[in-house]
Structure formats: C-alpha cells, structure tokens
C-alpha cells in the first residue's frame, strides 16, 4: 500500500471509540432474571456422547440380532473395519465438540476435511473390500433400492449422538456451524456403519460401499441441514 493509503487507514484506526449507548430494555430485563448457569466442559461432553452412543449402539445390535454369516467372514476384515469406524466416530466427535485449548472457536477446517475424507474412504472401503460367506445375501443393482432399510437403521442409530451433540453445541458455534454439525453427523454415521456391519448380511460391493459407507455422507448432510435449524 502507498503511504497515503496507510495514512488513511491509520487515521481511521485512530478515530475515537464511539460512545456506547445504554443496554436495551430487553437485555436489562434478561439480566434482571440472571441465574447461574453451568459452563461448557467439552471433554466431559465428549465422554458423555461417546459412552452413551456406544452403549446405545451395542443395545441396538443386541435387539436387532447379529448377522448369521458373522462366523464365515474373515476376522481381520471385521475387526479392522470396526476399529476404523470407531476411530472415525471418536475423532469426528472430538473435532465437533472440543475447540482448541484456550479458545471457544471450533476447528471447522480439520472437521470439514475429515468429514469429506471419512465419507469417501468408507464408500471406497466398502466397494473394494466386501467379503462374504455361504449365508451372505446379494442384492446387486436390481435390488439395490432395498438398501433403504439399512439407511433407516443407521439413521436411527445416528439420532442419539446427533441429538446430544446439538444440545451440547447450542449457541457455541456462531460461524461455520454447518461443518461442525456435519462432523457430528458423520461421527454418528460411522457408528451407524458399525451397527450395520454387525447386523446386515448383504455382502455385495454396491450395498456395502454405497449404503453402509454412504450412511456417513447421508447422516452428515442431514445433520448439517436440519441441525442448523434446531441449534
């Protein structure tokens, strides 16, 4: 910038601070009823969301019953896919609920990157690795539409962690709230994916990739769109 521009901005910077008018009546009325409130504890909220959600997911698996072909699948695939989804769930929950130490501003950039990466990874993972056994089912393209049942189950699993996150984040994220909500939704989608991998015995790549993997993107999108209104 030229000297004159710098001078102009300097003159603006040195302007006297405007006189603040008294607080509005509405604000005064609210202050008259001021009551102590519990402040946010992000780590505690993270522990609450993670533990309640995992207990809920385990309960749902017990109610829905474990897939019949579970013993026929390679344990390495089963364990690695569960651990990956669990890691996705915990990391995304962490990013959604805890701001950087010493600040109140949430890390929406890493959250956004991770949401996209996790959504793509699990679709690709499902398309590439979808082991099956004699008791597994195959839908393929002709019966692909029947996968809506799995999406409904995954969204039912997602509802609890998403609801908890929305309650905990109320008023805490003034900017880029959609990405933070998307992170919460994607985390819940990862949990939904875990439940599906224990419950659903459809083992074709399209179903495992696009439905079981796609629930992360669906849950993230729905949470970003609907949660924004709720929160």
By CB under 8 A, name the binding residues for another protein: 1-2, 4-5, 7-9, 11-13, 15-21, 23-24, 26-27, 30-32, 34-42, 99, 102-105, 108-109, 169-172, 174-176
CB of 171 to another protein, least distance (A): 3
- What are the tokens at 71? 């013993």
Q: CA end-to-end span of the chain, whole Å? A: 42
Distance in Å, CB of 226 to another protein, minimum = 19
- Residue 171, SS3 per DSSP: coil
Nearer to another protein, 108 or 198 (CB): 108
CA distance 161 to 89: 10
Indicate the residue among 21 and 229 with the shorter CB distance to another protein. Answer: 21
Distance in angstroms (rounded) separating the CA atoms of residues 58 and 160: 13
CA-based radius of gyration for the chain: 23
Using the minimum distance from each CB to another protein, give the nearer residue, 68 or 109: 109
Minimum Å gap between C-beta 100 and another protein is: 9
d(CA 186, CA 115): 6
- Structure tokens, 61: 């698996």
Taking the least distance from each CB to another protein, the nearer of 63 and 100 is 100
Residue whose CB is less far from another protein, 145 or 229: 229
The CB-of-99 to another protein minimum distance in angstroms stands at 7
Instruction: Count other C-beta atoms under 10 Å from residue 221's C-beta.
Output: 17
Provide the minimum distance between the beta carbon of 31 and another protein in the complex, in angstroms, as a whole number: 5
For residue 131, give Cα distances in angstroms to 25, 77, 204. 66, 8, 8
């Amino acid at each position: 910038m030229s000297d004159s521009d710098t001078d102009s901005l300097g003159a603006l910077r040195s302007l006297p601070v405007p006189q603040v008018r008294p607080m509005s009546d509405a604000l005064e009325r609210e202050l008259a009823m001021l009551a102590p409130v519990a402040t946010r504890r992000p780590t505690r909220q993270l522990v609450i969301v993670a533990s309640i959600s995992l207990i809920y997911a385990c309960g749902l698996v017990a109610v829905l019953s474990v897939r019949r072909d579970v013993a026929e699948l390679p344990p390495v695939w089963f364990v690695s896919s569960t651990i990956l989804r669990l890691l996705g769930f915990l990391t995304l929950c962490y990013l959604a609920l805890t701001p950087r130490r010493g600040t109140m501003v949430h890390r929406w950039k890493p959250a956004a990157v991770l949401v996209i990466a996790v959504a793509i990874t699990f679709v690709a993972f499902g398309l590439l690795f979808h082991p099956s056994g004699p008791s597994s089912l195959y839908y393929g393209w002709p019966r692909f539409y029947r996968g809506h049942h799995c999406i409904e189950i995954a969204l039912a699993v997602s509802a609890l962690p998403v609801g908890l996150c929305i309650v905990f984040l109320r008023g805490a994220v003034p900017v880029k709230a959609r990405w933070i909500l998307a992170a919460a939704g994607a985390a819940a989608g990862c949990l939904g994916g875990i439940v599906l991998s224990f419950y659903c015995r459809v083992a074709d790549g399209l179903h495992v990739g696009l439905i079981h993997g796609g629930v992360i993107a669906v849950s993230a999108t729905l949470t970003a769109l609907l949660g924004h209104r709720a929160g």
